[in-house]
Amino acid sequence: MSYLDEIRTWFWVPVYWVPIYFLSIVLSSVSTLLIQLRWVIPIILVLMTAPIIYKNLVGGGCSLKFQICALVKGMIAGLLFAGLTLFADVIVFSALSISTISSVFGFDTAYLTWLFAGLIGGFGARIVEVRGLTTPSSIRPIIENE
């Protein structure tokens, strides 16, 4: 797999990140009014993002060129989500002064939420890969009768 093909496998991240990020802006704006429900927002983001990361990593296999499997890809996806959020927070907060998730929860909670979601999605995808559930035709019994 070439470097360009490897980069193309990550194009799903911004596609899914944009609607989730806008939802996080709406939720963080609402959370300033509902202070008692603020702790629910990071949980909602993890529950929304982890299945998306899982779905996009299952069946991808390991990249032998770069020696990474689904768990590491999940961490990288979480870091990409966090990096895009950091970049967008700087732009949105400086241009519009809208409260973003990092301004409501602090930087540690906001960006670790994305990384945690990536870890959960990658861990689930790795379990499926190890068990061989992505390619059922290639599963062979340990002892074959001859």
pTM across the whole model:
0.74
Query: Which pLDDT belongs to residue 99?
Result: 62
Residue 138: which pLDDT band, with cuts at 50, 70 and 90?
Answer: very low
- How many angstroms separate the CA atoms of 144 and 87, rounded? 55
Mean pLDDT of the chain: 76
Q: Higher model confidence: residue 29 or residue 65?
A: 29
Query: Which pLDDT belongs to residue 139?
Result: 39
Q: Residues with Cβ < 8 Å from 69, sequence gap 6 or more?
A: 61, 62, 63, 126, 129
Average pLDDT of span 63-73:
70
Residue 115: which pLDDT band, with cuts at 50, 70 and 90?
Answer: confident
Residue 108: which pLDDT band, with cuts at 50, 70 and 90?
Answer: low
Average pLDDT of span 90-100:
73
pLDDT at residue 62 is higher than 70? no
Going from N- to C-terminal start, the domains of the chain cover 3-132
Query: Which pLDDT belongs to residue 140?
Result: 42
82 CB burial (10 A radius; 0-12, 13-18, 19+): buried
